[in-house]
Amino acid sequence: MTILDRLYASSGPEAIIDTVQIVIGDDVFWLVRSYFDIEATLEDGTSQTFTATDMDVALPARNADGTQDLKYAISNIDGKASAAIRQALENRSAMTITYRKYVSDDLNAPQESPLTLTIKSGSFTATEVQASAGYMSLLDWSWPRNLYNLIEHPGLRYIS
């Protein structure tokens, strides 16, 4: 039984700490759902300071219906997160979120493998940013997957 299984079954003196890393172009936001900043070690051994923020995370369901989205809400009091996400959505830039789960007694490594997802959509109010991220954005995929052109398929010229 892992420490997370024990914490889910019955709480102890430890607490589960949710952290997210949001990458929007060159901007990287390191956030933790806490009242205090924490310094934790990432899976590659580097140390990172996560900034405390008012945040909520709803993990994706473990099912096969194709809607495995991570939904999260972040405080937007300073406006930094909403400005960056809004600009990236308008420019159709790639945005990713990495969710890591730590236990308060052991910040030397995440307790589970990090979950990295692509941010697909978002909404904003004066006080919060709500966004949805998933394993893949099926709506952004082209169909058919292979786009045929004359450079790669010169025989198309002779099809009437």
Q: Is residue 132 part of a domain?
A: yes
Is the residue at 113 inside a domain? Answer: yes
Q: Specify whether the CB–CB gap between 132 and 70 falls below 8 A.
A: yes
Identify the band that residue 19 occupies on the pLDDT scale cut at 50, 70 and 90. very high
> Residue 99: which residues within 8 A CB-CB, separation 6 or more?
18, 19, 20, 57, 59, 70, 114, 115, 116, 117
**Is 153 a domain residue?**
no
More confident residue, 68 or 104: 104
CB atoms within 10 A of CB 97: 22
Tens-place pLDDT, residues 27-50: 888 999 888 999 999 999 999 999
Q: Report which of 36, 77, 70 is spatially closest to residue 56, judged by C-alpha positions.
A: 70
pLDDT score at 41:
93
Q: Per the structure, how many domains does the chain have?
A: 1
From 93, 116, 87, select the one nearest 19 (Cα to Cα).
116
Q: Which domain holds residue 15?
A: 3-137
Kindly state whether residue 117 falls inside one of the protein's structural domains. Answer: yes
Q: Give the residue carrying structure tokens 């003196």.
A: 13
Instruction: Measure the N-to-C terminal CA separation of the chain; round to a whole number of Å.
Output: 65
pLDDT value at position 66? Answer: 60
Q: Is the pTM of this model over 0.95?
A: no
CA distances from 18 to 128, 140, 159 (A): 18, 29, 57
pLDDT of residue 105: 86
Question: Of the candidates 45, 50, 43, which has an alpha carbon nearest to the alpha carbon of residue 21?
Answer: 50
Q: Tell me, yes or no, whether 109 lies in a domain.
A: yes
CATH number at residue 77: 2.30.110
Instruction: Report pLDDT digits (tens) over 124-136.
Output: 777 788 888 877 6
* pLDDT tens-digit readout, 53-98: 888 888 777 666 666 777 888 887 677 777 777 777 777 778 888 9
